Amino acid sequence: MNLPTDLKKLSIEQCEGLCGDIRKILIDTVSKNGGHLASNLGTVELTMAIHRVFESPKDKIVWDVGHQAYTHKILTGRLKEFYTLRQENGISGFCRPDESVHDAFISGHSSTSVSAALGIATAMKLSGDKTHHAIAVVGDGASTGGELYEGLNNAGKSDTNIIVILNYNEMSISKNVGGMAKYLSTMRTKESYQRTKGKIERILDKTPVVGKPVKNAVRNSKNAVKNMILHSTMFEDLGFHYIGPINGHNLEELEQGL
C-alpha cells in the first residue's frame, strides 16, 4: 500500500476497520514507551479523513503542538518504525519536517498552528498554487493561547486556501477552563442550525435551474432569519466560513465536512 495516497481506494468500512487497528497500535506503543494517549485516540478518524480528502504533502497539515499526530505518522509511512516512538534515534513524539515530508511544521509550542498554516497558505498563493490547502488542526486547549487569535485575525480575511480544524474535546492537559471553553460549548447548541444552513447552501449550489435572483433572495432571507435567531459565530465574524460542529469520530461526516 502506498500511503497516504492509497487510503483513497478503501471503502469507509475498510477505513473504520483500519482505525480500530491503529487504536490498538497506539495503546500498545504508548503503554510501552509513554507518550500522549488520549489526544491521539481522539484524532484517529480525523487524521484518516484529512488524508483521504486532501493530498499530503502537496496539501500541508499543521498539527498544533504536534502531540496528536501519531496516526498521521502511521498513515504516512512510519508504521514499521512506530515501535521506536520517543526513543533515542526513534520516531519523534512530535512533528518533524526532517523525519518526513508529510510533517509540514516543527512544533511543540502550542497555539502557533494557524499562523504557521497562514504563512504556508500565503506562499502557496504567491507561487500560483490555487488547488492545495494549508490545514491547521488546533485543540480547544491550545485555543486558550493568545497566539491563536493573532493567527485567526490575520487568516480570516487573508483570501488564502487555509482551513482551520478546531478539535473540540473539552480537554486541555486537564479539564479546559475559561470564557473560550464556555463559548465553544454554546456553539454545540447551534448544531441543528448549522446543519440546516449547510443543507440549504448545498441545495442552492447544486441546483442549476434556480436562477441567480432566486438564489440571492433565499440567501438573503436565510441570513436575515439567521441574524434574528442567532448571532453568527466568532469565527464567521473574523472572516471564516464556519462548518460544524461535526462528530470527530464519524468518518463519513468528517469527510463530508472537509
Binding residues vs ligand TPP (CB under 6 A): 39, 42, 65, 67-68, 108-110, 139-142, 145, 167, 169, 171-173
Q: How far is the CB of 147 from ligand TPP (least distance, A)?
A: 8
Q: How far is the CB of 67 from ligand TPP (least distance, A)?
A: 5
Angle at 164 between CA 162 and CA 169, to 5 degrees: 170
Whether residue 52 contacts residue 258, with contact meaning beta carbons closer than 8 Å, is answered with no
What would the grid cell of residue 153 be?
485575525
Q: How far is the CB of 238 from ligand TPP (least distance, A)?
A: 19
User: Helix count (H) and strand count (E) of the chain?
Assistant: 11, 3
Q: How far is the CB of 197 from ligand TPP (least distance, A)?
A: 26
Of the pair 139, 156, the CB lying nearest ligand TPP is at 139
Cell 434574528 belongs to 228
Of the pair 134, 148, the CB lying nearest ligand TPP is at 148
Whether residue 141 contacts residue 68, with contact meaning beta carbons closer than 8 Å, is answered with no
Of the pair 65, 124, the CB lying nearest ligand TPP is at 65
**Cβ neighbours of residue 61 closer than 8 Å, sequence gap 6 or more:** 50, 54, 72, 102, 104, 135, 137
Per DSSP, the three-state class of 52 is helix
Q: How far is the CB of 107 from ligand TPP (least distance, A)?
A: 8
Would the CA dihedral through 84, 117, 101, 250 be positive or negative? Answer: positive
Which residue type sits at 250?
A: N
Q: How far is the CB of 128 from ligand TPP (least distance, A)?
A: 34
Of the pair 145, 156, the CB lying nearest ligand TPP is at 145
State how beta strands 134-139 and 162-167 pair.
Answer: parallel
Q: How far is the CB of 215 from ligand TPP (least distance, A)?
A: 38
Of the pair 134, 137, the CB lying nearest ligand TPP is at 137
Of the pair 68, 161, the CB lying nearest ligand TPP is at 68
Of the pair 171, 234, the CB lying nearest ligand TPP is at 171
Whether residue 242 contacts residue 164, with contact meaning beta carbons closer than 8 Å, is answered with no
First-to-last CA distance in the chain? 24
